[in-house]
Amino acid sequence: MREILAMLIERGFLHLNQGKHYWVREAYPADAVSLRSISSDNFVVVDQTSGAPEIIAEVDFRSALQTLHEKAIYLLEGRRFIVEKMDYDERKAYVKRTEVDYYTNAISYRNVKVLEEFRGEEIAGARKSHGEVHVARQVVGFKKVKFHTMENVGFGNLQLPQDDLQTTSFWLRLDGKQVAALGGTPDERVLAVWGLSYILHRLAPLFLMCDAGDIDEAVCDDQTGSPLTPVQQRPAAFRREPLPSQFDPVIFLYDNYPGGIGLSEPLFRLSGRLIEHAAEVVAQCECSAGCPSCVGAHIDPGRNLKRMVVEILAGLGAVRST
Tell me the C-alpha to C-alpha distance, in Å, between residue 282 and each of 72, 100, 153, 277, 305.
31, 31, 24, 9, 11
Which residue in 306, 304, 297, 303 sits closest to 150, CA to CA?
Answer: 297
CB atoms within 10 A of CB 1: 5
The string of pLDDT tens digits covering residues 136-166 is 988 888 989 999 887 888 888 888 888 899 9
Q: Which of 32-36, 90-94, 198-202 has the lowest mean pLDDT?
A: 32-36
Q: What is the pLDDT of residues 223-258, one digit of tens each?
A: 888 888 776 666 555 566 777 778 999 999 999 989
Given pLDDT bands bounded at 50, 70 and 90, which one contains residue 321?
Answer: very low
User: Which whole number is the average pLDDT over 15-24?
Assistant: 88
pLDDT single digits (tens) 286-318: 988 888 889 987 655 556 789 999 999 999 987
Q: How many CB atoms lie within 10 A of CB 257?
A: 20
Please give the Cα distance from 313 to 279 (Å, whole number).
6
Residue with the larger pLDDT of the pair 309 and 63: 309
What pLDDT shows up at residue 301?
A: 56
Strands (E), 68-178: 73-76, 79-87, 92-97, 102-123, 126-146, 152-157, 163-174
User: For residues 167 and 133, is the Cβ–Cβ distance under 8 A?
Assistant: yes
Identify the band that residue 36 occupies on the pLDDT scale cut at 50, 70 and 90. low
**Pairing state of beta strands 73-76 and 54-60?**
unpaired
pLDDT higher than threshold 60 for residue 188: yes
Specify the DSSP element, H or E, that contains 63. helix 61-67
Beta bridge partners, 83, equal: 95
Task: Give the per-residue pLDDT at 46.
Answer: 96
Model confidence pLDDT, tens digit, residues 211-222: 998 999 999 999
Q: Residue 312, exposed/middle/buried by CB under 10 A (0-12, 13-18, 19+)?
A: buried
**How far, CA to CA in Å, does 313 sit from each of 24, 41, 124, 200?**
57, 41, 10, 11
Find how far residue 26's CA is from the centre of its chain. 39
- All residues at 6 or more sequence positions from 168 whose CB lies less than 8 Å from its CB, including other chains: 118, 130, 131, 132, 133, 254, 255, 259, 260, 262, 263, 264, 265
The pLDDT assigned to 237 comes to: 53
Q: Centre a 10 Å sphere on the Cβ of residue 285 and count the other Cβ atoms it contains.
A: 17
**How far is it, in rounded angstroms, from Cα 133 to Cα 131?**
7
Q: Is the pLDDT of residue 8 over 70?
A: yes
**For the CA atoms of 36, 42, 48, 52, what is the dihedral angle to 10 degrees?**
100
Angstrom distance (rounded) from CA 175 to CA 314? 13
- Per the prediction, the chain carries an average pLDDT of 87
In this structure, of 72-86, 189-203, 214-228, the range with the lowest mean pLDDT score is 214-228
How many Å apart are CA 193 and CA 197, to the nearest integer? 6
pLDDT attached to residue 25: 79
pLDDT tens column, 254-291: 999 899 999 999 999 999 999 999 999 999 999 888 88
Question: How confident is the model at residue 101, as a pLDDT?
Answer: 94
**Among 51-55, 122-126, 248-252, 295-299, whose mean pLDDT is lowest?**
295-299
User: What is the structure's pLDDT at 187?
Assistant: 87
Evaluate if pTM is beyond 0.85: no
More confident residue, 55 or 236: 55
Helix count (H) and strand count (E) of the chain? 7, 13
Which residue in 75, 71, 53 sits closest to 107, CA to CA?
71
- Residue 209 neighbours by CB under 8 Å, 6+ apart: none
